[in-house]
Amino acid sequence: MDTEMGRRPIGVFDSGVGGLTVLKELIRQLPNERYVYFGDMARTPYGTKSKQTVTRFSKQIASFLQSQGVKAIVIACNTASAVALEDIERDFDLPVIGVVKPGAKTAADTTNSGHIGLIGTEACISSGIYESYLQTYRPDVRLTGRACPLFVSLVEEGCIEDPVTTEIARRYLSAFKDTDIDTIIMGCTHFPMIEDTIQRVAGENVRLVNPAYETAKETKILLKENDLLNTEDIPLDEEAYRFYVSDAPERFRRIADLFLPLSISGAKQIHIEDY
């Protein structure tokens, strides 16, 4: 392995704190890696914006991450993965991975009834991207989608265990009641933060799919294939985990601290429009 390249960090990004659910799994499966995380707190949510806008934002973030010397990019956002993955793959000379394909693969392997529910942002559901990938894995499955945009704001507000979140979940998930759906894809990286509430409301017979596990697994494979895996031990310091945001660093830190297996001293605010 080229050690210098291997030591470089992996770039991870999302519209806000949601991508931390993917980062958490990356750290678990790839503990020897360094990470640079960017949360676009100033421009969240992405899920209600157009493909052009989300693609422009995503490309700016990819440029920023490239300027930080990353060796690969994980798009830890379903919305950006759905609409901007191809553009980023084309325009950046780096291995890039999104969360949608791994999520579809896990769901196809999980369902017994062949009927899958998908919850996500407006943009992700209407892109039809999960259907396309599911078709390639299991053409016999049916997918019923339900946009759940308020979940994103509730998580960004830190309403993780909250009666309001439960009530909104009841309304959204009523679309799946009295159906043969046995698997629900959490097709937005914010949603695993309220997984307990979603599971309680969906019922114990429904399996929730968090695409993060398979995404981290595929990231490892991709790094191996490109001879980029770091096998050396790393010091667990602020250099190994760097956090950047476009706004609200203190709010970001509070939620990250609740959620990550490490305590972060802070996130640095940058002006993303410069990239």
List residues binding ligand DGL (CB under 6 A). 14-15, 18, 44-47, 77-79, 120-121, 124, 152, 188-190
Give me the long-range contacts of 227-231 (CB less than 8 A, separation at least 24).
Answer: 227/1, 227/2, 227/5, 227/6, 228/1, 228/2, 228/5, 228/6, 228/8, 228/71, 228/72, 228/95, 229/1, 229/6, 229/30, 229/32, 230/6, 230/7, 230/32, 230/33, 230/34, 231/1, 231/6, 231/32
Residue 42 vs 94, nearer CB to ligand DGL: 42
- Nearest 5°: phi and psi at 30? -130, 70
Residue 134 vs 229, nearer CB to ligand DGL: 134
Q: Nearest distance from residue 19's CB to ligand DGL, in Å?
A: 6
Residue 111 vs 121, nearer CB to ligand DGL: 121
Residue 189 vs 246, nearer CB to ligand DGL: 189
Q: Nearest distance from residue 227's CB to ligand DGL, in Å?
A: 30
- Nearest 5°: phi and psi at 194? -115, 30
Q: Which of 124, 148, 159, 188 is catalytic?
A: 188
Q: Tell me if residue 188 is catalytic.
A: yes
Residues in CB range of 237: below 8 A, 6 or more apart: none
217: buried, middle or exposed (CB in 10 Å: 19+, 13-18, 0-12)? middle
Residue 12 vs 229, nearer CB to ligand DGL: 12
Cα 105 to the center of its chain, rounded Å: 15
Q: Nearest distance from residue 21's CB to ligand DGL, in Å?
A: 9
Closest-CA residue to 13 (of 256, 267, 257, 243)? 243
Within 10 angstroms of residue 206's Cβ, the number of other Cβ atoms is: 16
Q: Nearest distance from residue 54's CB to ligand DGL, in Å?
A: 9
By Cβ distance, which residue is nearest to ligand DGL?
Answer: 47
Q: Nearest distance from residue 35's CB to ligand DGL, in Å?
A: 17
Query: Sign of the CA dihedral 160, 242, 73, 38?
Result: positive
Cite the active site residues. 77, 188
